[in-house]
Amino acid sequence: MGSASRVSGPLADRPAAPCSLLMNREQRDRRREFVEPLAERPADPCSLPVSARRKGRQRGVEAIEFGLWMFLMMPAFLWMFITGMNLIRYIKASDVTRASAMLYTKGQDMTDIGMQQVVARVANGLDLEVTTSGASGNSVGNGLLIFSRVEYVGASCSCNNAAQYVVTQRIYVGNRSLQLSGAGVESFAGPAPSTGWNVTTGLVANATTSNTTAIVNSAFSSLWGSALSDGQYIYMVESFFKPTTTMGSGPFDSAGVYNRIFM
Protein backbone atom coordinates (compact mmCIF):
# COMPACT_ATOMS: atom_id res chain seq x y z
CA MET A 1 0.00 0.00 0.00
CA GLY A 2 1.16 3.52 -0.62
CA SER A 3 2.70 5.56 2.13
CA ALA A 4 1.21 8.78 3.47
CA SER A 5 2.06 11.79 1.39
CA ARG A 6 3.82 14.64 3.07
CA VAL A 7 1.86 17.85 3.54
CA SER A 8 3.66 20.94 2.40
CA GLY A 9 2.83 24.44 1.36
CA PRO A 10 0.06 26.57 2.89
CA LEU A 11 -1.67 23.50 4.26
CA ALA A 12 1.27 22.81 6.57
CA ASP A 13 0.77 26.16 8.28
CA ARG A 14 -2.85 25.47 9.16
CA PRO A 15 -3.48 24.35 12.76
CA ALA A 16 -4.91 20.89 13.18
CA ALA A 17 -8.65 20.83 13.72
CA PRO A 18 -9.58 19.77 17.25
CA CYS A 19 -10.71 16.20 17.68
CA SER A 20 -9.88 15.39 14.05
CA LEU A 21 -7.37 12.95 12.58
CA LEU A 22 -5.47 13.19 9.35
CA MET A 23 -5.55 9.66 8.07
CA ASN A 24 -3.74 8.35 5.04
CA ARG A 25 -5.20 5.86 2.62
CA GLU A 26 -3.80 2.84 4.46
CA GLN A 27 -5.39 3.89 7.75
CA ARG A 28 -8.72 4.42 6.02
CA ASP A 29 -8.56 0.96 4.47
CA ARG A 30 -7.77 -0.65 7.79
CA ARG A 31 -10.68 1.18 9.40
CA ARG A 32 -13.05 -0.16 6.74
CA GLU A 33 -11.82 -3.69 7.34
CA PHE A 34 -12.21 -3.38 11.11
CA VAL A 35 -15.84 -4.16 11.75
CA GLU A 36 -17.10 -3.76 15.29
CA PRO A 37 -20.66 -3.70 16.63
CA LEU A 38 -21.94 -0.15 17.03
CA ALA A 39 -22.95 -0.67 20.66
CA GLU A 40 -19.42 -1.75 21.62
CA ARG A 41 -17.60 1.10 19.96
CA PRO A 42 -16.09 3.61 22.41
CA ALA A 43 -17.73 7.02 22.21
CA ASP A 44 -15.68 9.79 20.72
CA PRO A 45 -15.20 12.38 23.48
CA CYS A 46 -15.27 15.17 20.95
CA SER A 47 -18.69 14.08 19.69
CA LEU A 48 -20.35 14.45 23.14
CA PRO A 49 -22.25 17.65 24.06
CA VAL A 50 -20.46 20.22 26.17
CA SER A 51 -22.82 19.62 29.11
CA ALA A 52 -22.07 15.89 29.09
CA ARG A 53 -18.32 16.46 29.03
CA ARG A 54 -18.63 18.97 31.88
CA LYS A 55 -20.73 16.55 33.92
CA GLY A 56 -18.04 13.95 33.62
CA ARG A 57 -15.57 16.21 35.40
CA GLN A 58 -17.91 17.07 38.30
CA ARG A 59 -17.46 15.39 41.67
CA GLY A 60 -20.30 16.89 43.85
CA VAL A 61 -18.25 19.78 45.26
CA GLU A 62 -21.04 22.31 44.55
CA ALA A 63 -23.53 20.33 46.65
CA ILE A 64 -21.17 20.36 49.64
CA GLU A 65 -20.54 24.08 49.26
CA PHE A 66 -24.27 24.79 49.03
CA GLY A 67 -24.94 22.72 52.15
CA LEU A 68 -22.30 24.60 54.14
CA TRP A 69 -23.61 27.94 52.86
CA MET A 70 -27.19 27.08 53.88
CA PHE A 71 -26.00 26.02 57.34
CA LEU A 72 -24.32 29.40 57.85
CA MET A 73 -27.16 31.47 56.34
CA MET A 74 -30.05 29.73 58.13
CA PRO A 75 -29.95 32.12 61.15
CA ALA A 76 -30.11 35.08 58.77
CA PHE A 77 -33.13 33.63 56.95
CA LEU A 78 -34.83 32.97 60.29
CA TRP A 79 -34.16 36.53 61.45
CA MET A 80 -35.57 37.90 58.18
CA PHE A 81 -38.77 35.89 58.64
CA ILE A 82 -39.28 36.99 62.27
CA THR A 83 -38.54 40.63 61.49
CA GLY A 84 -40.85 40.56 58.49
CA MET A 85 -43.75 39.16 60.50
CA ASN A 86 -43.19 41.71 63.27
CA LEU A 87 -43.05 44.52 60.73
CA ILE A 88 -46.37 43.44 59.22
CA ARG A 89 -48.05 43.56 62.63
CA TYR A 90 -46.41 46.88 63.47
CA ILE A 91 -47.69 48.46 60.24
CA LYS A 92 -51.12 46.98 60.93
CA ALA A 93 -51.20 48.61 64.37
CA SER A 94 -50.24 51.98 62.87
CA ASP A 95 -52.99 51.67 60.24
CA VAL A 96 -55.60 50.95 62.92
CA THR A 97 -54.54 54.03 64.91
CA ARG A 98 -54.64 56.27 61.84
CA ALA A 99 -58.02 54.96 60.68
CA SER A 100 -59.49 55.41 64.16
CA ALA A 101 -58.18 58.97 64.34
CA MET A 102 -59.79 59.81 61.00
CA LEU A 103 -63.16 58.53 62.23
CA TYR A 104 -62.87 60.42 65.50
CA THR A 105 -61.96 63.76 63.93
CA LYS A 106 -64.80 63.41 61.40
CA GLY A 107 -67.28 63.47 64.27
CA GLN A 108 -68.10 59.76 64.53
CA ASP A 109 -69.44 58.61 67.91
CA MET A 110 -66.74 56.22 69.09
CA THR A 111 -68.87 55.17 72.09
CA ASP A 112 -71.35 53.49 69.73
CA ILE A 113 -70.99 49.71 69.60
CA GLY A 114 -71.39 49.69 65.81
CA MET A 115 -68.53 52.15 65.29
CA GLN A 116 -66.35 50.23 67.72
CA GLN A 117 -67.00 47.04 65.76
CA VAL A 118 -65.89 48.81 62.59
CA VAL A 119 -62.59 49.64 64.27
CA ALA A 120 -62.28 46.05 65.51
CA ARG A 121 -62.68 44.78 61.94
CA VAL A 122 -59.92 47.12 60.81
CA ALA A 123 -57.75 45.65 63.59
CA ASN A 124 -58.42 42.09 62.46
CA GLY A 125 -55.55 39.87 63.62
CA LEU A 126 -54.53 42.12 66.53
CA ASP A 127 -57.16 40.76 68.96
CA LEU A 128 -59.02 44.01 69.66
CA GLU A 129 -62.17 42.86 71.45
CA VAL A 130 -65.37 44.93 71.59
CA THR A 131 -68.11 43.78 73.96
CA THR A 132 -70.35 46.70 74.94
CA SER A 133 -70.90 50.30 73.95
CA GLY A 134 -69.74 53.20 76.11
CA ALA A 135 -66.45 54.86 76.97
CA SER A 136 -65.11 52.64 79.75
CA GLY A 137 -63.70 49.77 77.65
CA ASN A 138 -63.54 46.17 78.86
CA SER A 139 -61.08 43.60 80.21
CA VAL A 140 -60.74 41.10 77.33
CA GLY A 141 -58.51 40.89 74.30
CA ASN A 142 -55.00 42.17 73.60
CA GLY A 143 -55.72 45.59 72.14
CA LEU A 144 -56.64 49.02 73.50
CA LEU A 145 -57.57 52.30 71.81
CA ILE A 146 -57.71 55.59 73.76
CA PHE A 147 -59.54 58.58 72.28
CA SER A 148 -58.91 61.99 73.88
CA ARG A 149 -60.21 65.43 72.96
CA VAL A 150 -58.06 68.10 74.57
CA GLU A 151 -59.09 71.76 74.66
CA TYR A 152 -57.05 74.82 75.52
CA VAL A 153 -58.59 77.20 78.03
CA GLY A 154 -57.40 80.76 77.45
CA ALA A 155 -55.72 82.87 80.08
CA SER A 156 -58.59 85.32 79.94
CA CYS A 157 -60.93 82.81 81.57
CA SER A 158 -61.67 83.68 85.18
CA CYS A 159 -61.70 80.03 86.24
CA ASN A 160 -59.49 77.43 87.88
CA ASN A 161 -58.38 75.93 84.55
CA ALA A 162 -57.27 79.18 82.90
CA ALA A 163 -54.27 78.83 80.54
CA GLN A 164 -54.43 75.03 80.79
CA TYR A 165 -54.97 72.08 78.46
CA VAL A 166 -57.91 70.02 79.68
CA VAL A 167 -59.48 66.73 78.61
CA THR A 168 -63.05 67.32 77.54
CA GLN A 169 -63.70 63.75 76.36
CA ARG A 170 -62.03 60.38 77.01
CA ILE A 171 -63.10 57.10 75.39
CA TYR A 172 -61.56 53.67 75.87
CA VAL A 173 -62.13 50.89 73.34
CA GLY A 174 -60.71 47.47 74.18
CA ASN A 175 -58.93 45.98 77.16
CA ARG A 176 -58.07 48.57 79.83
CA SER A 177 -56.33 45.97 82.01
CA LEU A 178 -53.37 45.53 79.64
CA GLN A 179 -49.95 46.26 81.11
CA LEU A 180 -46.77 47.67 79.64
CA SER A 181 -43.54 47.05 81.56
CA GLY A 182 -45.49 45.94 84.64
CA ALA A 183 -47.75 48.99 84.76
CA GLY A 184 -51.20 49.61 83.41
CA VAL A 185 -51.41 51.25 80.00
CA GLU A 186 -52.61 54.84 80.33
CA SER A 187 -52.95 57.82 78.06
CA PHE A 188 -50.02 60.12 77.35
CA ALA A 189 -52.21 63.02 78.54
CA GLY A 190 -52.84 61.30 81.86
CA PRO A 191 -55.60 59.12 83.31
CA ALA A 192 -59.28 59.81 82.89
CA PRO A 193 -60.57 62.61 85.16
CA SER A 194 -61.49 61.23 88.55
CA THR A 195 -64.57 63.44 88.77
CA GLY A 196 -67.12 64.47 86.18
CA TRP A 197 -66.23 61.77 83.64
CA ASN A 198 -69.27 60.13 82.06
CA VAL A 199 -68.49 56.46 81.32
CA THR A 200 -71.31 56.32 78.77
CA THR A 201 -70.57 59.37 76.61
CA GLY A 202 -66.96 59.96 77.61
CA LEU A 203 -67.61 63.68 78.21
CA VAL A 204 -66.04 65.45 81.18
CA ALA A 205 -68.20 67.87 83.12
CA ASN A 206 -66.87 71.37 83.89
CA ALA A 207 -63.58 70.56 82.17
CA THR A 208 -63.10 74.13 80.95
CA THR A 209 -63.94 75.78 84.22
CA SER A 210 -63.60 74.29 87.68
CA ASN A 211 -62.81 70.60 87.20
CA THR A 212 -59.09 70.55 87.91
CA THR A 213 -58.87 66.77 87.47
CA ALA A 214 -59.35 67.34 83.75
CA ILE A 215 -56.02 69.15 83.40
CA VAL A 216 -53.54 67.14 81.37
CA ASN A 217 -50.05 66.38 82.59
CA SER A 218 -47.04 68.57 81.89
CA ALA A 219 -45.56 66.14 79.35
CA PHE A 220 -48.50 66.72 77.03
CA SER A 221 -48.43 70.51 77.48
CA SER A 222 -44.71 70.69 76.72
CA LEU A 223 -45.26 69.34 73.21
CA TRP A 224 -46.83 72.60 72.08
CA GLY A 225 -44.38 75.47 71.91
CA SER A 226 -47.03 78.11 71.38
CA ALA A 227 -50.39 77.90 73.07
CA LEU A 228 -53.51 77.33 71.01
CA SER A 229 -56.26 79.87 70.82
CA ASP A 230 -58.93 79.80 73.47
CA GLY A 231 -61.39 76.96 72.75
CA GLN A 232 -59.27 75.13 70.13
CA TYR A 233 -59.20 71.32 70.19
CA ILE A 234 -56.51 68.69 69.82
CA TYR A 235 -57.64 65.17 68.94
CA MET A 236 -55.32 62.43 70.15
CA VAL A 237 -55.74 58.73 69.46
CA GLU A 238 -53.46 56.17 71.09
CA SER A 239 -53.25 52.43 70.61
CA PHE A 240 -51.53 49.59 72.39
CA PHE A 241 -51.44 46.02 71.12
CA LYS A 242 -49.90 43.14 72.98
CA PRO A 243 -49.03 40.19 70.71
CA THR A 244 -50.68 36.86 71.40
CA THR A 245 -47.47 35.05 70.36
CA THR A 246 -43.92 36.25 70.88
CA MET A 247 -41.67 36.20 67.82
CA GLY A 248 -38.16 37.22 68.74
CA SER A 249 -37.35 40.80 69.69
CA GLY A 250 -38.00 44.16 68.15
CA PRO A 251 -40.83 46.71 68.05
CA PHE A 252 -43.47 43.97 68.40
CA ASP A 253 -41.98 41.65 71.00
CA SER A 254 -43.66 40.44 74.19
CA ALA A 255 -43.90 44.01 75.53
CA GLY A 256 -46.21 45.11 72.73
CA VAL A 257 -46.34 48.18 70.50
CA TYR A 258 -47.68 51.66 71.22
CA ASN A 259 -48.82 54.30 68.68
CA ARG A 260 -49.96 57.89 69.12
CA ILE A 261 -51.48 60.31 66.61
CA PHE A 262 -52.41 63.98 67.02
CA MET A 263 -54.90 65.62 64.71
**Who has greater pLDDT, 143 or 14?**
143
**Rounded Cα distance, 167 and 185, in Å:** 18
Q: What residue type is 189 in one-letter code?
A: A
- Give the per-residue pLDDT at 153: 93
Q: Are strands 164-175 and 136-138 parallel, antiparallel or unpaired?
A: parallel
| Interval 124-176: pLDDT, tens | 989 999 998 999 999 999 999 999 999 999 988 889 999 999 999 999 999 99
Q: Is the pTM of this model over 0.75?
A: no
Are the C-beta atoms of residues 234 and 262 closer than 8 Å to each other?
yes
